[in-house]
């Protein structure tokens, strides 16, 4: 299923693509913005996708497909579901290509779609506690690496308590309020800064900092016996 986003004809067969927007037309809200963009940037490429550039869409799908699966896997804890949701994310990007505004970073727009989709999935399946189990300390299925929650390097004691620590992290992250959970994922796993996370969650930069501070403060307090 993941191959469909990388295949133009297969993608188009399943979509009502609608007319492409013509560059420089009176209805083009990005006409003034595009002049200052690096033509190789994601934003510039996405604007060309809105004008009918299928190659540009394939490039963006290939570039972000694997990171998107990793991001969604951390939210749903299931590889197959993460791959299906990633597929849906790129289908929605393609369908909404004409509405893209270059004032926002492409990644901000992309992860907003992904975050909304994952949250809606959990609610729609009426299995939110299971679907939103976040495996913050679980090794990445591809690299085998596991990012550390705390700022310091993991100690030898943490290594010995790894299994117990993983279970505790899963339990306490799952208990975080929804926005805190999403912010932690974007901050720790996608390397997104406060401004980018705020744009996805529709919060100010200061509110995002406060949100993450509260989330990490809660997790460190709950996990104080493991760090």
In a domain, 184, yes or no: yes
pLDDT in the model for residue 25: 46
The model's pLDDT over 114-125, given as tens digits with 9 standing for 90+, comes to 988 888 887 766
pLDDT of 2 higher than 70 = no
Pair 117, 89: CB distance under 8 Å:
yes
Could you tell me which residue, 104 or 197, shows the higher pLDDT? 197
In a domain, 159, yes or no: yes
Sequence-separated (6 or more) residues with CB below 8 Å from residue 15: 91, 94, 95
Q: How far apart are CA 1 and CA 84, in angstroms?
A: 7
Q: How far apart are CA 118 and CA 99, in angstroms?
A: 21
Structure-block tokens of residue 40: 């190789």
pLDDT band at residue 113 using 50, 70 and 90 as cut-offs: very high
189, 116: one domain: no
User: Residue 12's domain is classified under what CATH number?
Assistant: 1.10.1740.10
Q: How far apart are CA 195 and CA 56, in angstroms?
A: 26
pLDDT of 77 higher than 60 = yes
Q: How far apart are CA 44 and CA 56, in angstroms?
A: 10
**Out of 17-31, 73-87, 165-179, least confident range:** 17-31
pLDDT in the model for residue 89: 95
The model's pLDDT over 65-74, given as tens digits with 9 standing for 90+, comes to 999 998 888 7
93, 192: one domain: no
In a domain, 45, yes or no: yes
pLDDT in the model for residue 150: 44
pLDDT band at residue 225 using 50, 70 and 90 as cut-offs: confident
**Out of 20-24, 31-35, 207-211, least confident range:** 20-24
pLDDT in the model for residue 168: 76
Could you tell me which residue, 68 or 158, shows the higher pLDDT? 68
What pTM did the predictor assign? 0.64
128, 158: one domain: no
105, 10: one domain: yes
126, 153: one domain: no
129, 186: one domain: no
**CA 153 vs CA 134, 145, 148, 158, 227: distances in Å:** 21, 14, 8, 10, 10
Q: Which domain holds residue 124?
A: 1-16+35-133
List the one residue out of 80, 74, 66 whose CA is nearest residue 146. Answer: 74
pLDDT of 8 higher than 60 = no
User: Would you mind telling me the total number of residues written for the chain in this entry?
Assistant: 227
Domain boundary among 76, 107, 133: 133
Domain boundary among 133, 164, 193: 133
Mean pLDDT value of segment 149-159: 51
Q: How far apart are CA 151 and CA 145, in angstroms?
A: 16
């Amino acid at each position: 299923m993941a191959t469909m986003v990388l295949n133009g004809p297969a993608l188009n067969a399943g979509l009502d693509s609608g007319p492409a927007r013509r560059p420089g037309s009176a209805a083009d809200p990005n006409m003034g913005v595009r002049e200052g963009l690096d033509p190789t940037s994601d934003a510039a490429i996405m604007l060309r996708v809105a004008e009918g550039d299928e190659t540009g869409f394939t490039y963006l799908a290939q570039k972000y497909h694997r990171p998107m699966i990793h991001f969604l896997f951390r939210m749903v804890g299931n590889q197959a579901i993460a791959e299906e949701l990633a597929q849906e994310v790129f289908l929605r990007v393609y369908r909404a290509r004409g509405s893209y505004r270059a004032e926002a970073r492409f990644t901000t727009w992309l992860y907003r779609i992904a975050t909304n989709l994952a949250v809606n999935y959990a609610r729609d399946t009426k299995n939110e506690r299971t679907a939103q189990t976040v495996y913050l300390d679980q090794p990445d299925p591809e690299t085998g690496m596991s990012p550390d929650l705390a700022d310091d390097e993991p100690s030898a004691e943490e290594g010995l308590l790894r299994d117990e620590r993983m279970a505790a992290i899963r339990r306490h992250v799952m208990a975080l309020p929804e926005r805190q959970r999403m912010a932690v994922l974007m901050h720790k796993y996608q390397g997104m800064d406060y401004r980018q996370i705020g744009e996805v969650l529709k919060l100010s930069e200061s509110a995002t900092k406060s949100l993450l501070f509260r989330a990490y403060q809660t997790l460190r307090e709950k996990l104080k016996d493991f760090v």
